[in-house]
Amino acid sequence: MKTEDVIIINNNEIASEIWEMEFLAPKISSNYKGAGQFIQIQLDPGWGNPLRRPMSIASCRDSKISIIYKIFGQGTKILSQKISGDVLNVLGPLGNSFQYKKNNLNILVGGGVGLAPIINLWKELDELRDNSYLIIGAKTKNEHIHSHNPDEHIYLTTDDGSMGLPGTVMEALKVVYENVKSSEVFACGPEPMLKQIQSFVIKNNIPAQLSVESYMGCGVGICQGCIISRRNYKNKNHSYHKKYSLVCVDGPIYSAGDVIFD
């Protein structure tokens, strides 16, 4: 893990309120382990915004890193105003990465801002010529950056039915799973979505890895702001860390059976 002053190469709106930023980060790139890892971005060097903002790595190649982010509040608004040549202080790479077997028929599911690590994993698997399935959910068509193309194994969903399959990612997951009986599911998105995927995979006995995007302050295990309950907790004389997990240092990726969304 390193801090680095990274130089922004470009920062563009790629869909409604969804931005992609690419920057030069040779030090952080050299420690990158794979899709699922994230970085913590300092918005400005003063005390205006003391907490860094966590963002998943959407790609890492040739010393360049990209992120895909949605304007959510003040911090992401500030990020969207940065231009090519601006410098940001970034901490990373942080967290664990998705672990997959080659030649598996995987189903990748991304919802909302959970898109970034899933797109990264999709590209990683594509390079291995893995024939995976991609499911991306959004509220409406303007928030999508892909085209619905089941022939290419890309399934989009929209809550309002304006593109792809109407409904949530669960509708597409059921359709795809019924057809392929996939060997593993990988998902990232808002907690209600992860909760539904968790119930589905446990009920159908499908191995799955879920990337949890909880609020976090420091990103390095000090502030304890990002705890999640561990499942199958048996030992009553527990240590705090056996009962709870810190998403920033133990995660953000967990086996679906290991955590409880309260």
Ligand X SMILES: Cc1cc2nc3c(=O)[nH]c(=O)nc-3n(C[C@H](O)[C@H](O)[C@H](O)COP(=O)(O)OP(=O)(O)OC[C@H]3O[C@@H](n4cnc5c(N)ncnc54)[C@H](O)[C@@H]3O)c2cc1C
Cβ closest to ligand X, residue 59 vs residue 214: 214
Phi, psi of 158 (to 5 degrees): -135, 140
- Taken in order 134, 137, 143, 149, is the CA torsion positive or negative? positive
Cβ closest to ligand X, residue 69 vs residue 155: 69
Q: How far is the CB of 76 from ligand X (least distance, A)?
A: 3
The burial class, CB within 10 Å (0-12 / 13-18 / 19+), for 240 is exposed
Cβ closest to ligand X, residue 116 vs residue 259: 116
Cβ closest to ligand X, residue 169 vs residue 176: 169
Cβ closest to ligand X, residue 56 vs residue 157: 56
What radius of gyration, in Å, describes the C-alpha atoms of the chain? Answer: 18
Q: How far is the CB of 170 from ligand X (least distance, A)?
A: 21
* Cβ-contact 247, 227 below 8 angstroms: yes
Measured distance CA(246)–CA(78) in Å, rounded? 27
Measured distance CA(167)–CA(113) in Å, rounded? 17
Measured distance CA(70)–CA(247) in Å, rounded? 21
Please give the structure tokens belonging to residue 116.
């970034």
Cβ closest to ligand X, residue 53 vs residue 146: 53
* Cβ-contact 1, 93 below 8 angstroms: yes
Q: How far is the CB of 163 from ligand X (least distance, A)?
A: 20
Q: How far is the CB of 118 from ligand X (least distance, A)?
A: 10
List the alpha helices (DSSP H) in the chain. Answer: 26-30, 74-80, 115-127, 169-180, 191-203, 240-243, 247-250
Contact residues: ligand X, CB under 6 A: 38, 51, 53-56, 67-70, 72-76, 113, 116, 213-217, 225, 252
Please give the structure tokens belonging to residue 231.
């499942």
Q: How far is the CB of 39 from ligand X (least distance, A)?
A: 9
Cβ closest to ligand X, residue 80 vs residue 104: 80
Q: How far is the CB of 15 from ligand X (least distance, A)?
A: 12
Q: How far is the CB of 247 from ligand X (least distance, A)?
A: 6
